[in-house]
Structure 1
């Protein structure tokens, strides 16, 4: 049992409200996929060293509460360098981007990475991790403020999705070797057409609301790979991918190489307002709800 201090919100929470997420907890359900807090009590088979420890948990649901009971093997002890608000915002966003770019796309130093939705919760971490892995990063986001956040995270080139032709802008920069796409829709189509031969497109989600259709003959002609990633799904069949990734990420954070960006911190009684920030795309990086 954990006394919850903070809960990080994700676009998936909005999909759960609408019954559109790939995992559907039985109703009534409490939202909140990821959280951080202090372990207050343990079941008989849990590691006793966890008692009293500050931990982060990928819960799947239940984070928007004062207390919650979660599997002990999902509790990750926090390093002293990480506060609970950072921890609540860390696992899904950084984990998704690291597994996507390292494990799935095999991003190499010197390659060009195009990040769509580059100022969002996962997009901003993809910019940061891609730069850390030695890529040249093109960030696509809407408006000057969001592009400024992407630039601060390490982006080399910026594209405003409101005013610029995405395909032409990426082609002018030499094309993309890897595309990180949490948006879908028209941006997927434009990015697809701006890919270099043997490019890898990582499908993260569909924030635009449109699931794009892919022409298989175009994949064939340009030798392009389209790779799906559902980060939480690895819990069921290869949890070691996530634990290994998280160990790397916590190490990078402790060394000062990652700087989580949280744009809004709101108390639990304003959780609906916090979710509306995501729905209205008014946030950059992460939105966190606190209970203390």
Structure 2
């Protein structure tokens, strides 16, 4: 089979011919049809992601496809079932073996391409806004990086939860995408002062930040007393310092949020969240936005779109 493999941390990954794997005890094998790309894939190549596997390994964190073999002790999902899996690795290949307990049977309402880019982005935003920040109807939500893979889902989910959403992104085209997905107010990070605009709109009660750097600092200063700031990631490349004295004076809460970590200590929180999200999708409340769909032999183009911030929503590789 073909697979996009990384031989050593820091090397350039490449397509390689590999043996089709056999499922171990507790695993299923999937004939993979689509794999969502994530900024974390770029970090893994450099060994900078918090859950970087030991090399060599096949890249690709989240997949959709069809179950085609069962390992020892596995009875479901049955062979032929269409599923999505948060894999962590191994998704950019024609076949992959993954723990059966992570497989989610897919409703007819969602395509393989949508499902492959659904779990991490929507799962992160829903768990962050609902379970962690307890976003309430009528509150103001500021979303940084609002046209990106996770940011756009935060805009959508914030609206479904009844918030007033301020979307911050770079450039008119990206802001238009955020507007189409429900944003009430728009901030162009290229030309506008985030702090001044947010304060002029009454401040933020909850901040969703996958960007970090100077944007976190501006959002921090524009957060209302008793506000909550979610640190989702650092796409800017800069981890911002947190001023604990300002947190104290304004009664602010800064909340770390790593979706994949819940698999290790509270997997039920993830499965409950995903069940809600798939129900919302079937009801038409959320609609995944995939800006680019590319074949397996063009993975490098897809990763470059993420690296250069030229994508909106998700980039998905079809296999």
TM range, smaller chain: over 0.9
1:59 corresponds in structure 2 to 87
1:17-96 paired onto structure 2 within 5 Å: 17-96=45-124
Match of 2:214 among 181, 186, 196: 186
Q: CA deviation at 1:44?
A: 2.0
For residue 273 of structure 1, what is the aligned residue in structure 2?
Answer: 301
Matches within 5 A, 1:145-156: 145-156=173-184
Which segments of structure 1 move beyond 6 Å, counting only runs of 4 or more?
A: none
Deviation for aligned residue 1:51: 1.5
Between Structure 1 and Structure 2, the one with more strand by share is 2
Q: 1:235 aligns with which of 263, 266, 271?
A: 263
> Match of 1:112?
140
- In the alignment, which residue of structure 2 is the partner of 1:203? 231
CA distance in 1, matches of 2:240, 2:78: 44
What runs of 5+ residues in structure 1 fail to find an aligned partner?
none
Q: Residue 128 of structure 1: SS of its match in structure 2?
A: helix
Q: What whole-Å deviation, never above 9, does each CA across 1:109-137 have from its counterpart, x for those lacking one? A: 00000000000000000000000000000
Partner of 2:15: none
Does structure 1 residue 103 correspond to structure 2 residue 156? no
User: Hey, what's the Cα distance between the residues in 2 that align with 1:50 and 1:22?
Assistant: 33
- Kept in 2, the 8 Å contact 1:47–1:72? The answer is no
Q: 167-176 or 40-49, which moves further after superposition?
A: 40-49
Note the alpha carbon deviations across 1:49-98, whole angstroms, 9 max, x for none: 42110000000001100000000001100001111000001000000000
- For the Cα contact (< 8 Å) 2:67–2:77, is it kept in 1? no
TM, length-normalised to structure 2: 0.91
Question: What is aligned with 2:16?
Answer: none
Equivalent residues, number: 291
CA RMSD of aligned residues (A): 0.6
**Structure whose residues are more often helix by fraction:** 1
Q: Which of 164, 169, 194 pairs up with 2:197?
A: 169
Which residue does 1:257 correspond to in 2?
285
Q: Please give the per-residue CA displacement for 1:253-276, whole angstroms capped at 9, x wherever unaligned.
A: 011111000000000000011100
| TM-score normalised per structure 1 | 0.99
CA distance in 1 between counterparts of 2:164 and 2:76 reads: 45
Q: Judging changes above 3 Å, is the alpha-carbon distance between structure 1 residues 177 and 77 closer, same or farther for their aligned structure 2 residues?
A: same
Partner Cα separation in structure 2 for residue 176 and residue 144 of structure 1: 22
C-alpha distance in 2, partners of 1:258/1:47?
A: 32
Q: What's the offset of the Cα at 1:202?
A: 0.3
Instruction: List runs of 5+ in structure 2 lacking aligned partners.
Output: 1-28
